[in-house]
Amino acid sequence: MTAWTPPPYADPTAFTEQDLVLEAAGQTVPGTLTLPPHPSVGVVLLAGGGPFDRDETSGPNKPLKDLAWGLATQSIAVLRFDKLTANRPEAMAAPGYTMTAEYLPHATAAVRKLAEHVDRVFLVGHSMGGKVAPKIAAEEPMVAGLVIMAGDTQPMHHSAVRVMKYLAETGAVPPETVALFERQAAVVDSPDLSPDTPLTDLPFGMPASFWLDLREYDAVATAAKLDVPILVLQGGRDYQVTVADDLPAWRDGLPNATVKILDADNHLFFAGSGPSTMADYQVPGNVDPVAVSTIVDWLP
């Protein structure tokens, strides 16, 4: 596999990194603190859905490491951590698993740890990390603001059907996959969904507890109640979280937020041209420097 290459906008001499452990809810996860000299502002990075490590490693790419190094080069402290499921993905199929339980405890611990080094702490969440960021900010008053990168607002089981249709059109998945996800999405929508619903009836093999938790959570409404600044970034070429299907809810629900579309970027905020496909994620790249500079310029 091709090794990760640091982005050209990162200067490793501008910061130091140290490993740490975050403990919350009786469980520990490893993380990395990236510190420039004398920072006043810091960000906690939140990876997307799935058993991601602190770098959000995907094939040869490490988009959260790109962000950490890019932001630290610009004097912003960064704390990123392995998700609870990173080293034991089987937990995602366990009864009782929820998005809230996976993110909230250790993200809160990360905010408090980073606050020992800076005056203000912001959350920068990617994909599901962006979706859950308002929930974390609602629970942790130390959060000074949010950056939501490709945060989905369409119900996840509905967007899964849409994405599978797109992938079937590109030949990446067989047509019968679409029918499977349509059946599973109908189960999630059903009033009969219960903790006893079999995993095989549900999208991605995630338990009913996960879907019941998501059904009760409105990311936009939660964000609208926050009294903190919010930046919403969206890739124009993203087929997972899209300008057409997800961004309108952020625009409508958060009239005071800053919203920016990076037309050339895919879901990882890697710049390119033409329709984005699954194969893009196996092509070595780095987060668009425009995404990094937009965050740096926006942070108060």
Phi and psi at residue 11, in whole multiples of 5°?
-120, 100
Q: Is 262 left (phi over 0), alpha (psi -120 to 50) or beta?
A: beta
How far is 292 from 124, CA to CA, in rounded Å? 11
Give me the catalytic one of 238, 245, 246, 288: 238
As a whole number of Å, the end-to-end CA separation of the chain is 39
Beta strands in 150-274 (DSSP E): 230-235, 258-262
Q: Which of 53, 126, 127, 152 is catalytic?
A: 127
Q: Which residues contact 117 (CB under 8 A, 6 or more apart)?
A: 33, 35, 39, 42, 77
Q: Are 180 and 157 in contact (CB under 8 A)?
A: no
Strand 120-126 and strand 41-46: the pairing is: parallel
Chain centroid offset of residue 247 CA: 15
**What does the block give as tokens for 180?**
């499977």
Q: Is 238 a catalytic residue?
A: yes
Select from 153, 125, 162 the least CA-distant residue to 249: 153
Catalytic pick from 106, 126, 157, 267? 267
Measured in degrees and rounded to the nearest 5, phi and psi for residue 76 equal: -110, 125
Contact 191, 234 (CB under 8 A): no
CB 278 within 8 A of CB 172: yes
Strands 143-149, 230-235: pairing is: parallel
How do strand 77-81 and strand 27-35 relate by DSSP bridges? antiparallel
Which residues are annotated as catalytic? 127, 238, 267
